[in-house]
Amino acid sequence: MSYGRLALLLTLALAGCNPVAPYATGPLAAKAGVKDEGPRVAICFNPLKTADEKLQELGQAECLGDTVAKRVDTDYRLYTCSVMVPGRATFVCEPKKK
């Protein structure tokens, strides 16, 4: 490992950056013919470190307005999320039922 990369890793570690912390990302596109009731959001996560309740909470935090995050898909594509957080949970932000 080069000294530059080592310095970057050390800086991130000291800054409190957690390489396995979940983070928002672009969502998986809807399949052909599927019409969502609202916008899609997604969270990259580590399935061994992130509880389903926490993942739902994070998805809900990404939904704006008076909506409910409904989990519609999960995929594991390493070009979307990092190796440390390989899962991507996609949610649809549906309007709350009245």
Return the number of other C-beta atoms located less than 10 Å from residue 85's C-beta.
Answer: 21
- Residue 69, strand partner residues: 93
Return per-residue pLDDT of the chain as tens, 98 residues.
566 676 665 555 554 556 789 999 999 999 899 899 899 999 999 999 999 999 999 999 999 999 999 999 999 988 889 889 999 999 999 998 87
Q: Which pTM does this prediction carry? A: 0.78
pLDDT at 2: 65
Distance CA 56, CA 91 (A): 9
Show Cβ contacts of residue 41 under 8 Å, excluding neighbours closer than 6 positions: 24, 27, 59, 62, 63, 69, 90, 91, 93
Our CA angle for 50, 44, 42, nearest 5°, is 115
> Is the separation of the CB atoms in 76 and 32 below 8 Å?
no
